[in-house]
Amino acid sequence: MNSNSDFLVLFLAPVREFLEDDSVSEILINGASQIYVERRGKLELTSAKFAGEAQLMAAAANIAKSVDRILDERHPDLDARLPDGSRVHATIPPISRCGTIISIRKFKKDILTLDKLESFSSIPHEGALLLNAIVKLRKNTIVSGGTSSGKTSVLNAMSGLIPEKDRILVLEDASELQLQQKHCVYFETRKPDKNGEGEFSIRDLVIASLRLRPDRLVIGEIRGKEALDLLQAMNTGHSGSMSTIHANSPIDALRRMETCALMSGVELPLSAVRMQVASAINCLVHTMRLPDGSRKVVDISEVLPLENGDYKTSKLMEWKTKSISPDGTVCGAFRLCNRPSFAGEAQIMGIELPQYS
């Protein structure tokens, strides 16, 4: 715990041990008497409890107050960051039926690198070589996956490969990324005040950032209409930018980007949006949390030109599950698929790629 531990203990005393336990990655409070934690990708029910709904509601209200937000019946949803960097989301009645709900995604103190992902068996060495080439060759990349599949961790690791000479602008809803480069400028969205004014969204940040001479944009997550502005930035000289998006597969990630771009309110035909998506995004990295709780980069693909008006990708590497043992352990292997079209660029730049057969 850091110097802000008194704050955390005061309002969240029943879960203090989990806040201090580095093996716990997430704390899920489902009302005063049901608290789960996640360790190594698996959920565990704990015996911890709050004294009652009043104590839990007081904790949520004080967290909201500490970040100058409102949490009441008119504003029953809170997204904020604790003093130690952990991300907290709270929901209260009437929209939650079982009392106050709080989830805390703990801030990782250790900076994640590709070497560490390799040591965790989250990616093979060949996959790490591919990601290194993708970043060094300034390929615009989207990291996709489901909730808690490791998207932000992979984005963090990939961002560590960006050369020091680049000016990086980092845009997030709640700060989670920890880039290692010196020339990084961090931005965070702002929620509206109690009068509904003063909001500054991810889309506002994207638009503003383009006036600040970015070499690369790193956006925590694409959720809505900001997708169109990012696509336009990627198509107009800001190569090597990267972000994450919720999706079930690499192709689904492209379709999600398309849907988000169509939410912008700009009247564009679907064919034009698809052309922008296919030309702006060069590579897709898909993550997954497997049944045994392990998280892996299960697919690295290259985006090809549209074919008959639809998206087409070329798989560069994939994970194949072969079996699941009685204790739940997932057994499988990574395999290389198609040689990337940028192999010639990598050779010219002296960047190592895996040996394709």
Share of the chain above pLDDT 90, in %: 68
Sign, CA torsion 255/256/258/262:
positive
Per-residue pLDDT averaged across 343-354, rounded?
96
In 3D space, the residue among 122, 146, 153, 154 whose CA is nearest the CA of residue 296 turns out to be 122
Reply yes or no on whether the pLDDT at 329 is more than 60: yes
- Retrieve residue 38's tokens: 């996640």
In 3D space, the residue among 36, 34, 93 whose CA is nearest the CA of residue 60 turns out to be 93
Task: Decide if 357 is inside a domain.
Answer: no
The tally of domains found in the chain comes to 2
CATH code: domain of residue 50: 3.30.450.90
> End of a domain among 105, 137, 172?
105
Lowest mean pLDDT among 4-8, 174-178, 222-226, 242-246: 4-8
Same domain, 199 and 73: no
Same domain, 150 and 94: no
The string of pLDDT tens digits covering residues 194-208 is 777 888 988 999 889
Which own/partner contact pairs does 135-138 have at CB distance under 8 Å and 24+ positions apart?
A: 135/159, 135/161, 135/162, 135/240, 136/161, 136/163, 136/349, 136/351, 137/342, 137/345, 137/346, 137/349, 137/351, 138/216, 138/239, 138/240
The residue range of the domain holding 12 is 5-105
The string of pLDDT tens digits covering residues 97-143 is 889 999 999 877 777 889 999 999 999 999 999 999 999 999 999 99
Same domain, 155 and 46: no
Q: Could you tell me the pLDDT band of residue 2, with boundaries at 50, 70 and 90?
A: very low
pLDDT at residue number 4: 46
Task: Decide if 35 is inside a domain.
Answer: yes
- Retrieve residue 12's tokens: 């969240």
Same domain, 136 and 250: yes
Q: Cβ distance 82 to 88 under 8 Å?
A: yes
Tell the burial category of 106 from Cβ atoms under 10 Å away from its Cβ (0-12, 13-18, 19+): buried
pLDDT at residue number 177: 82
> End of a domain among 105, 129, 155?
105
Per-residue pLDDT averaged across 23-43, rounded?
93
Sign, CA torsion 20/23/28/32:
negative
The string of pLDDT tens digits covering residues 164-194 is 999 999 998 877 788 888 899 999 888 777 7
pLDDT at residue number 17: 92
**What is the amino acid identity at position 355?**
Q
Same domain, 151 and 176: yes
**41 or 244: whose pLDDT is higher?**
244
User: ω into residue 76 within 30 of 0, thus cis?
Assistant: no
Same domain, 151 and 299: yes
Same domain, 297 and 152: yes
